[in-house]
Chain A
Amino acid sequence: MARYEFKLPDIGEGLAEAEVARWLVKVGDRVVEDQPVLEMMTDKAAVEIPAPGAGVVVEQRVGEGDVVKIGAVLYVLDSDAAIGGMTVAAAPPTETPEPRPGPPPQAGEGTAVLAPPAVRKLARDLGVDLARVKGSGPGGRISAEDVQRSAAAPAPAAAPALAGDRAPLRGVRRRMAETMAASAKSIAHVTGFHELDAGEFVALFRRLRDEHTARGRRFPFDALLVRATALAVHRHPIFNSSLDDERMELVMHAEANIGVATATPEGLIVPVVANAGGRDLAAIAEEVDRIATAAREGHAAVADLRGGTLTISNTGAWRGAHGTSLIPPGQVALVAFGRVEDRAVVRGGQVVARPMMPMSVTFDHRVIDGEQGLSFALTLRELIESPEQLL
């Protein structure tokens, strides 16, 4: 038997934290490998966290409703064997808290890993988790060579599936599979494609960006898109609703919470500008900058990823043009904006080059009919082609 402290793994959404939704086992319960132990809540939905091996859950370190950071210990497993080739402490850590009364040591105070200070520094620099390194020295002491060997070896958990292998789909990836299948199965997706003249829109963006820069602030392009969408939703409230398909009731939302699909090194996440309809452009810009920066830097707060009522996606950075989308369950539409590029268009009988922006409006035809979809797109077109209304 060996004590194994199970830490919240990186669940791969660029999130620094997640909320404990519920425990699926009790202290004293025996679990087998891959058995779901608890459910964590992220922006996408609940993610089941499977056991790393067989054993008995002897301690739960977090409670339901707690928001915990990646790397925090969730529970202690008295495991039947060393887990996944990782080193497991053979006994509870031998280092006792500092021998002094007073508040208990806070996170980061002391370390139970037996590795000299210079080796710990090396591990930090190489990004090696010492808890996963098997020490070759007396008493399991970890040497610099042990750390270098570990750094050179492929990470056991993150290793990509090799050709010919079958690998279980876990965590966010699995949740994505389930959510998207549910979306495709239940929502009646219809997408309309539109080409917008973005000449004035881009000029306005540049002017606002320069003004903000002069004041030491940033002005994200997406802020204007959020503003336009929020105004359009105000005129077409049906786009800010949910369908309760069990009761066949339409739920109209009071506030427009616009999600902004954001690429991060770990994948796509959707931070939300809460009550975008109730904010002016400057406030939206500040909020878009804050949540997008947090998301990209990997410390988005769970609260910033919740409660979206309509999602926009700006694919311009990838030279995206038109595309259909799957609407997140609970919402009824998704607007995707593509890259603004000069195109040959006819103005006053002449072929001229204009900066054109592709826009794809995907809506749930169970809730929204074709006329409503086109009408919403037309409003967006007016707002974007005559963008002074956005100020």
Chain B
Amino acid sequence: MVAGDQSDPVDVLIIGGGPGGYVAALRAAQLGRSVTLVEMKRVGGLCLNEGCIPSKQLARFAAVYASVRAFASEGMPPLSGPPDMAAFQRARVAAVDTLVGGVESLLKSAKVTVVAGEARFVGRTRVCVQTGEDSVRFFDFKDVVIATGSEPIPWAAAPFDGERVVEASRALEWDSVPGSLLVVGGDYIAVELTVAWARLGSRVTLAFRDDRLLPGFDADLSAAALRGAQQVGAEVLLGAPVSASDHERVAVSVGRRPRIDGLDLAAAGIREVKVDAQMRIDRHVFAIGDVTGGPPLAHRAMMQGRVVGDVLGGKNSAFDARAMPQVVFGEPELATVGSSEGVVGRFPLAALGRAVIEAKATSGFAKLVFDGEGGPLVGAHLAGPRATDLIAELALAVEMGATAEDLALTVHAHPTFAEAAFEAAEVALGRPIHVRPRR
């Protein structure tokens, strides 16, 4: 049989229905393109189905469990038993189903055609989609967007076995708390798994080959992550070799790599996935999200999805974000955006009323970095409750080129954690009210 005898002509073809792909599909459809989306599992991708969303559900569940116990001294009644992880897992599945259903209905009402299967290129303008064991479909596209995401890199010392040694996604799905858990890695995923399972009662060892957690983050955040992991009862081994043998379970997060195996990019004449500001590899070939390399962040992929959707719709759009925030749902919550180099204003949460009454989170801080005296904000690094939400104000400030005066003169409601932002700006300006000024 000649490949492609029966090929369906399509307008825009998107390979991968994760946060990048489905957003690109919706935006391109909004702008009048006819979109076909190929997804091999469920729309929403790894993030919605087995990454960001369920891991935040686990983090919240563990944090509530821990805080009930933390407030025992203030009269909170004790818990009557261990956490029911089977019930949690049912709730996790239900929440994911709700959100996947939401994305499906958005795609449906935007008239995006979703094809289930795995795609590979068989020509410059053609893909073959394996829709079943013995069935394939061919599509001829005008424009194609590669949004296949990334996949976890295995740990050299012990490969994934799907049961005892698993990738991070599987470590969200256990219906009992492991007696002992080894978490291998030092990225935000490793930190989040460590904190959640330690809070739920597992004896957790976090082992990372580097000499500090969260490499690439501001050093103060790395230090806060280490303190926090130890506070929740985890043992942290840095820069030391470790063996998988002494632990009931092993969760591995040692990095992710672009998922391009099996795509046969060469058949489309693509030598490497290298994109310009319009996310273009070639005139009619685009790529977005983790597959383009760079930090594997859903919000980055979503922004790139909007850009690519715009470009496909004929808009003059570009991916040119100055600020790319990153957040860690650990103990404490951590958030970062931009640089660590410049004029620094650091405000401790110990001086913030809200922090003292809530969560006993007085070891946190807000650290703002400005480009010279009177210059714009170029970085912000937060540790403490709600840090993952508070970073949004500071990302906006970086994008807008807001100065310390802009932040200091913006009224922040009291008593909130957000006050830490203007307080830190006042520290940078040398005139703080709630801490002693710098000498």
Contacts and interface: CB of A to CB of B under 8 A. Distances in A.
B217 interface: yes
Contacts of B278: 108
Interface string A61-104: 00000000000000000000000000000000011101111110
B295 interface: yes
A57 to B, nearest CB: 26
Contact of A106 (B293, B326, B372, B399): B293
Contact of B277 (A96, A101, A107): A107
Interface string A163-179: 00000000000000000
A115 interface: yes
A115 B322 CA distance: 9
Interface string B382-422: 00000000000000000111010000000000000000000
A141 interface: yes
Interface stretch (B95-103, B172-180, B238-246, B333-341): B333-341
B292 A106 contact: yes
Contacts of B216: 98-101
B274 A139 contact: no
Nearest to A126: B316
Contacts of A111: 320-322
Interface stretch (A116-124, A235-243, A248-256): A116-124
Contact of A105 (B294, B378, B401): B294
Contacts of A101: 215-216, 255
A183 B215 CA distance: 62
Contacts of A100: 216-217, 295, 326
A161 to B, nearest CB: 30
A141 B375 CA distance: 9
B376 A139 contact: yes
Given A106-B292, A120-B320, A124-B318, A99 B401 contact: no
A110 B320 contact: yes
A108 B341 contact: no
B91 interface: no
Nearest to B370: A139
Contacts of B340: 96, 99
B406 to A, nearest CB: 8
A99 B336 contact: yes
B397 to A, nearest CB: 10
B319 interface: yes
Contact of A109 (B294, B336, B400): B294
A388 interface: no
Given A101-B215, A107-B274, A139 B374 contact: yes
Contacts of B274: 106-107
A98 B318 contact: no
B320 A108 contact: yes
A103 B319 CA distance: 17
A139 B371 contact: yes
B376 A114 contact: yes
Contacts of A115: 401
Nearest to B290: A102
Contacts of A124: 316-318
A98 B339 CA distance: 8
A378 to B, nearest CB: 42
Contacts of A139: 371-372, 374-376, 401, 403
Contact of A299 (B283, B326, B372): B283
Contact of B294 (A95, A96, A106, A141): A106
B218 interface: yes
A138 interface: yes
A236 B313 CA distance: 51
Interface in B345-388: 371-372, 374-376, 378-379
Nearest to A95: B322
A137 interface: yes
A109 B322 CA distance: 8
A95 B295 contact: no
Chain B interface secondary structure, helix, strand, loop or mixed? loop
Contacts of A102: 255, 293-296
Given A103-B293, A139-B375, A108 B400 contact: no
A124 B319 CA distance: 12
B298 to A, nearest CB: 14
Contact of B326 (A94, A99, A108, A109): A99
Contact of A110 (B215, B316, B324): B324
B276 A98 contact: no
A125 interface: yes
A139 B405 CA distance: 12
Contact of B321 (A94, A99, A110, A125): A110
Interface in B279-324: 279, 283, 292-296, 316-322, 324
Contact of B276 (A105, A108, A117, A137): A108
Nearest to B399: A117
B342 interface: yes
Contact of A99 (B218, B255, B292, B296): B218
Nearest to B404: A138
A191 to B, nearest CB: 39
A211 to B, nearest CB: 20
B62 interface: no
Contacts of B322: 95, 110-111, 114
Contacts of A109: 294, 319
Contacts of B342: 94
A207 B114 CA distance: 41
A125 B320 CA distance: 14
Contacts of B320: 108, 110-111, 120
B401 A107 contact: no
A273 B241 CA distance: 61
B275 interface: yes
A86 B319 CA distance: 24
A346 to B, nearest CB: 51
Given A99-B340, A100-B216, A108 B277 contact: yes
Contacts of B321: 110-111, 117
A107 B255 CA distance: 22
A137 B401 contact: yes
B428 to A, nearest CB: 14
Contacts of A125: 316
Given A106-B274, A106-B292, A110-B320, A141 B217 contact: no
A144 to B, nearest CB: 12
A229 B386 CA distance: 74
A216 to B, nearest CB: 10
Nearest to B258: A103
A84 B226 CA distance: 51
Given A98-B295, A99-B216, A141 B401 contact: yes
Per CB-CB distance, the 6 closest pairs between chain A and chain B, nearest first, are A108-B277, A141-B401, A103-B293, A100-B216, A100-B295, A111-B320
Interface of B: 215-218, 255, 274-279, 283, 292-296, 316-322, 324, 326, 336, 338-342, 371-372, 374-376, 378-379, 399-401, 403
Interface of A: 94-96, 98-103, 105-111, 114-117, 120-121, 124-125, 137-139, 141, 299
9 contacts: A99-B326, A100-B216, A101-B215, A103-B293, A108-B319, A114-B376, A117-B321, A124-B318, A125-B316
Given A110-B320, A110-B321, 13 more contacts: A96-B339, A96-B340, A99-B336, A103-B294, A107-B276, A108-B275, A108-B278, A115-B401, A117-B321, A125-B316, A138-B374, A139-B372, A139-B401
